[in-house]
Structures are given as C-alpha cells and as structure tokens.
Amino acid sequence: QVQLVQSGAEVKKPGASVKVSCKASGYTFTNYYMHWVRQAPGQGLEWMGIINPSAGSTTYAQRFQGRITVTRDTSTRKVYMELSSLSSEDTAVYYCASGIARSRFDYWGQGTLVTVSS
Amino acid sequence: QSALTQPPSVSGSPGQSVTISCTGTSSDVGSYNRVSWYQQSPGTAPKLMIYEVSNRPSGVPDRFSGSKSGNTASLTISGLQAEDEADYYCSSYRSSSTLVFGGGTKLTVL
C-alpha cells in the first residue's frame, strides 16, 4: 500500500533552517507529484510548493519564494523540504502529500511538527 | 494570494444533507475543473474526498458529491452520519501553476 513516512519533530530557534524528509513507498515514485502543505496550530491548510520527482522541477507559493527549497532523491525515494529564516509564525505541522495529478493530494504523510522557539 | 472562501461552520442532523461552499475567482475555481475536497479529523492528516470537482476516489461513500458553478464549488454530504463530523477543506489549481486552499469548514453533526 502507499505510504509516505516523514521525519520526526523538530525544534528550531528563530533564524535557523529546518529540513523535513518524506519517504515514499507503494507506488512508482516518479509518477506522482509531491506537495508540501503546512498547518499552524488551530489553523487551516496552506499549500507551500510542489516537485515533479521525474524532472526535479519545482513551483513554490509566492509567500515562500526565496525561503523554501524542495528537492528529491530518486535513489532513496525521498523528497525534502527545507525552509530557512524561521520565525515563530512557521511553527506548524508540515505534511508531504502526493498526487497523480499536480492539482490534487491523493496520499498524505503523517505530518512533522516543527516548533520555532527561542 | 488570498485563500478560497468557505463558511467557518455548518451543521446538520443525522440523515440530513449539508452543503459546503468554496468561492474563488476566475483565476482558480472559475477557470479550472481542478477543485478537490479534503476531510480532516482532529489530529490526523487530511483525506481526499472529491477531485476534479465531482469525482470520488475509491472507497469514498457516494453520500459525498461535488459540483461547481462559476467561481463557486460545493461539497454536498447527504444522509449525514456522526462519523462525518470533521473539518473540510477545498483546494483549487490556479493560473500561476500554484494551488490554494479554502479556510476550512467545521461540520458539526447535531
């Protein structure tokens, strides 16, 4: 069955960077787009960006441009999301989600809590 | 980049039908049949319920249906059940090749 397994919770100081990983299994890795979505405590979902694992091409939400980098390693079937210049407003659960089409999220990871605190 | 607009909350009694709206613009909902709906229960990851406006993934009950008119998409849940109580989010593809979510709607089953 399809599984997206994310790395564990992180605690970071303001100004630092965080890198979250997402390992995919149960499907052809390069056939599904991979998105990153975050959810601040008690808030809604926010789309951050997408990678085409086949081509490695990315598209990011405007508000994260310059601060987010999404990469993939096809040999390990992992996708990474790195977010820099963290502030307390980046405290959230970060999800990876894969979709057969770039416009939807068929499968979700379990989420990774990133806490930014001094 | 504004989020899509959803009502903060809706409610209904078991067996009734409820509809959740999702209003966007001509740059997203109005221009693309790429609207999806997700169900999220507390402490869990979202689950895809509807894709491309009105298609249900395998395993999603046919009580869930989707539609679109102009810049507004809708999710209708008929024969409401207690297990349907959750937060619901819409999302849409945008002309900038990005995606956007709605603010979410809390469904309460009375």
Each residue's pLDDT expressed in tens, for chain B with a length of 110 residues: 578 999 999 999 999 999 999 999 999 999 999 999 999 999 999 999 999 999 999 999 999 999 999 999 999 999 999 999 999 999 999 988 999 999 999 999 99
Distance CA A77, CA A96 (A): 13
Q: H or E stretch including A13? A: none
Nearest partner of A61 among A33, A32, A38, judged by Cα:
A38
CA angle A16–A18–A21, rounded 5-degree value: 170
Chain B CA closest to residue A46 = B101
Chain A CA closest to residue B103 = A44
Q: In this prediction, what percent of chain B has a pLDDT beyond 90?
A: 95
At A11-66, the pLDDT tens digits run: 999 999 999 999 999 999 999 999 999 999 999 999 999 999 999 999 999 999 99
pLDDT score at B1 = 59
* Tokens 């709607």 -> residue: B105
Interface test with B, best of A104, A106, A107 (most B CBs within 10 A): A104
CA distance A69 to chain B (A): 15
Does residue B99 sit at the A interface (CB-CB below 8 Å)?
Answer: yes
Nearest partner of B22 among B73, B87, B92, B71, judged by Cα:
B73
Q: For residue A93, what pLDDT band results from cuts at 50, 70 and 90?
A: very high
